[in-house]
Amino acid sequence: MIQEHQHLYEALSKVDGYIFPNEIELNWSILIVLYPYITGLVAGAFILASLERVFNVKALKPIYVISLLTALAFMLTATMPLISHLGHPGRFYELMITPHFSSAMAIFGFVYLWYLMVVLLLELWFDYRKDIVIWSKEKKGLLKYFYKALTLGVTDISPEAVKWDEKLGYIVTVIGIPSAFLLHGYVGFIFGSVKANPWWSSVSMPVIFLFSAMVSGIALVMFVYFAINYFRKKVVDMLCLDTIAKYLFYILIIDFTLEALDQIHRIYEAEESFEIISMLVSGKLIFTLGIMQVLLGTIVPLLALGLFQLYKPKDIVRKWTYFIVSILVLIGIFFMRWNVVIGGQLFSKSFYGFTSFKLSLIGQEGLLMAIVWIIVPFLILWALLLLFPPWKKVEVED
Amino acid sequence: MELEYKNKKTRRDFFKAAGIFTGGVLFATLLKPYKSLAYKLHEGETSNVWYGIGIDIEKCIGCGRCANACKNENDVPREPFYFRNWVEQYTIKNDGEVIVESPNGGIDGFTQSIPDEDIYKSFFVPKLCNHCYKSPCEQVCPVGATYRSPEGIILVDEEYCIGCRYCVQACPYGCRFIHPKKKVASKCTYCYHRVKKGLNPACMDACPTGARIFGNLRDKSGPLAEFLKEHNCHVLKPHLNTGSKLYYNGLNMEVK
């Protein structure tokens, strides 16, 4: 029995001050860090794509379809960390068939399905329909049947029909923007609505989650765009990159302002939980919050991107800076999720002490498992890019 | 040209089929919650039993028998980090420092590590589920596995709980844990199996000083109602408005 609870006995020896006995175990571990991280990437990538389509930002054309495919690849993985962390993963369907509507979590399945089926898949389908019909005729063997199935029996590619695809796709994108906001704002609400936890309970949580989602999604698309061009041995479109960077800069400013505001508000109001939270921030979270999230993940990218708004060095310098910035931002937002999810569980609800968290390497909630869930969406994206190469799409006149 | 297109299936057909399918799934999904809604309408709102617990802090001697009895009665894992019921020892030093301890939930008793001359005051506080009327754990359960019995007792359906741990996060009092074997949420049930037979919860019977008063809040002449009438009682974290039904007499502000 002792063997089974070894890690908890170990944690018991590392408690500072007093915590409620049941608080030794961190209930949400790295998989629940990944869950808002991945859904955020989806929402962010989608919003970037819709900039091109709805707001007609022409410079973003090269990444429009890439953003959508990236969003889809991550969306397909989004539920996996969530389901695999359940005590009874086999019962997850209860969420869908008997949802308890007063729970913020109960609606996740519906928000997810709405976003996946109605927004992402539909938009991509309208976007690719003509190509799929053409490929279903050109390709041989199994692939032929694969594309044929994807036409869903709609093989009409007359100019009028394609025009309608465009129109309907546009409508879906317009619906998609508030849906993306809903998806991630809602994920923020899951945490923000827990009144028992003063580190989470904040009305600004959904908005902060939303903007950090956009930041991470934009950085991800930037990274993916670099990777695709590297593997295809193509030159990146600098105008496109500069435009992405500009949006990343502005949204990063909003995100940083909102988070700073939230913290300033906490510090100034200094409620009952203030002492324990300030100890948390200046102690257990100093590395993940101070260094990783704020310094490397926010301030350095802000300075670099801000500088480029005023002064434009050579393409090669900008290119490499963008590449590094995209990685820094991705890491920074990962640690933002970490600080919310893990940070919120490190202090006791008695406000008298701290527990500790040790990430194990193996096991269902281990580091390796988390790495798997980060790699899987990239593999899916790779497969999607092979099956639906954006560079082989037939150009449709606007 | 036109004829050729007519023979092909149109988008309209596809949307029709998709619409029927989605509608069907949605309808099936909607039926089930209505079932529970209908049940809720008939739920014992008229029940004349509404249980709560009063605790007289001055009577608690920190023997930990309640915590032990609870573990025995409810098959709570013996490890010192799974408790449905535990006792905390508060020591307030002359310099204002507050020291809280609960070694093994108080089951093995307490020792005082602070020298007598440094102690301003010291007392014991037994903790258990507050069986909140507006309970956050019930609110956040995504499948409704946590529910309130007609008698006002918050229970978990172990066959139904998916083990998402949201309720553990939502409980402000640290009263829930995930059962290491069953992988579902576990918590105090007021010994529902005993209460249903007209017995007291195990912790009540184990208390040697009568520091715990279990009773029906709607019975105005009952022991709990009497206790609440005679004493000025407080609940934990009242600002969270959870509708706690765990009333403490002589609760110090240091207790969270």
Alpha-carbon gap, residue B67 to B206, rounded angstroms: 9
Instruction: Indicate the length of chain A as a whole number.
Output: 398
Answer whether residue B6 shows pLDDT above 70: no
Nearest CB partner across the interface for A196, out of B32, B101, B172:
B172
- Does residue B133 sit at the A interface (CB-CB below 8 Å)? no
- Test the A interface: residue of B110, B162, B184 with most A CBs within 10 Å: B162
Tokens, residue A385: 């890019």
- Residue A153 phi, psi dihedral angles, 5° rounding: 80, 0
Yes or no, beta carbons of A25 and B127 under 8 Å apart: no
> What's the pLDDT score for residue A86?
93
Across the interface, whether the CB atoms of B102 and A88 are under 8 A apart is answered no
Cβ neighbors of A77 (< 8 A, separation 6 or more) are A38, A373, A376, A377, A380
What distance in Å separates residue B190's CA from the closest CA in chain A? 18
Q: What is the pLDDT of residues B28-50, one digit of tens each?
A: 766 655 554 444 444 545 678 99
Residue of B nearest to A89 (CA): B162
Q: How far does A94 lie from chain B, in Å, by closest CA?
A: 6
- Residues of B whose CB is below 8 A from A150: none
| Cross-chain Cβ contact A105/B162 below 8 Å | no
How would you write the pLDDT of chain A (398 residues) with one tens digit per residue?
Answer: 567 788 888 888 889 999 999 999 999 999 999 999 999 999 999 999 998 888 889 999 999 999 999 999 999 999 999 998 999 999 999 998 999 999 999 988 888 999 888 899 999 999 999 999 999 999 999 999 999 999 999 999 999 999 999 999 999 999 999 998 888 899 999 999 999 999 999 999 999 999 999 999 999 999 999 999 999 999 999 999 999 999 999 999 999 999 999 999 999 999 999 999 999 999 999 999 999 999 999 999 999 999 999 999 999 999 999 999 999 999 999 999 999 999 999 999 999 999 999 888 888 788 999 999 999 999 999 999 999 999 998 876 54
Question: Å from A278 to nearest chain B CA?
Answer: 18
Residue A347: its chain B contacts at CB < 8 A?
A: none
Å between B17 CA and nearest CA of chain A: 11
- Identify which of B5, B141, B142 has the shortest CB distance to residue A158: B5
Task: Report domain extents, chain A.
Answer: 12-389
Contacts of residue A94 in chain B, CB cutoff 8 Å? Answer: 143, 160, 162
B102:A18 CB<8 A: yes
Any CB–CB contact under 8 A between B109 and chain A? no
User: Are the beta carbons of A72 and A59 closer than 8 angstroms?
Assistant: no
- Element at B43 (helix H, strand E): none
Q: What is the pTM of this model?
A: 0.90
Put simply, the chain B residues between 10 and 39 with a CB less than 8 A from any chain A CB are: 10-11, 13-14, 29, 32-33, 36
Unique residue bearing structure tokens 């023979």: B7
b (16+ CB within 10 A) / e for A101-115: eebbbbbbbebbebb
Kindly state the percentage of chain B with pLDDT values over 70.
Answer: 89
A160, closest residue in chain B (CA to CA): B5
> Which tokens go with B17?
């089929």
Rounded distance, CA A94 to CA A91, Å? Answer: 6
- Rounded to whole angstroms, the Cα distance separating A148 from A127 reads 16
Å from A273 to nearest chain B CA?
11
**Distance linking the first and last C-alpha atoms of chain B:** 78
Q: Is the pLDDT of residue B161 over 90?
A: yes
Mark yes or no for CB contact B184/A194 under 8 Å. no
Shortest Cα–Cα distance, A23 to chain B (Å): 7
Q: Name the residue facing B162 among A86, A104, A152 (closest C-beta).
A: A86
Distance between CA atoms of residues A220 and A377, nearest Å? 12
Closest chain A residue to the Cα of B106, Cα to Cα: A21
- Please tell me the predicted confidence (pLDDT) of residue A322: 97
Residue with tokens 């025009």: A163
Give the closest of A1, A24, A193 to B81, CB-based. Answer: A24
Quote the CA–CA distance of A105 and B143 in Å, as a whole number. Answer: 9
- d(C-alpha A162, C-alpha A136), whole Å: 16
Q: Nearest residue on chain A to B28, judged by CA atoms?
A: A97
Partners of B170 on chain A (C-beta within 8 Å) are 194-196
**Is B8's CB within 8 Å of A156's CB?**
yes
| Each residue's pLDDT tens digit, B8-32 | 667 788 788 888 888 887 777 666 5
Q: How far is residue A145's CA from residue A136's CA, in Å, rounded to a whole number?
A: 7
Strands B246-249 and B51-56 come out as: parallel
Measured between beta carbons, the chain B residues lying within 8 angstroms of A166 are none
Chain B residues whose CB is inside 8 A of the A153 CB are 9, 13-14
**Coil, helix or strand at residue B56:** strand
Amino acid at B190: Y
Q: What is the pLDDT of residues B105-138, one digit of tens each?
A: 999 999 998 999 999 999 999 999 999 999 999 9
Chain B residues with CB-CB distance to A345 below 8 A: 169
- Length of chain B in residues, anyone? 256
Separation between Cα atoms, residue A98 and residue A93, nearest integer Å? 8
How high is the pLDDT of residue A358? 87
* Most A-contacting residue of B15, B40, B164 (CB-CB within 10 A), to test interface: B164
**A371-385 burial: b if 16+ Cβ within 10 Å, else e:** eebeebbeebbeebb
Model pLDDT, residue B40: 47
Q: How far is CA A323 from CA A13, A38, A41, A326, in A?
A: 43, 20, 17, 5
- A-chain residue closest to B160, CA distance: A91
Tell me whether residues A196 and B171 touch, CB distance under 8 A.
yes
* Binding-face residues of B in 185-244 toward A, CB within 8 A: 240
Shortest Cα–Cα distance, A45 to chain B (Å)? 27
For position B13, what pLDDT does the model report? 81
B1, pLDDT greater than 50: no
B139 touches chain A (CB under 8 A): yes
Residue reference for tokens 């809604």? B37
Distance from C-alpha of B183 to C-alpha of B163, rounded to nearest angstrom:
6
What pLDDT sits at residue B160?
94
Whether the CB of B54 is below 8 Å from some CB of chain A: the reply is no
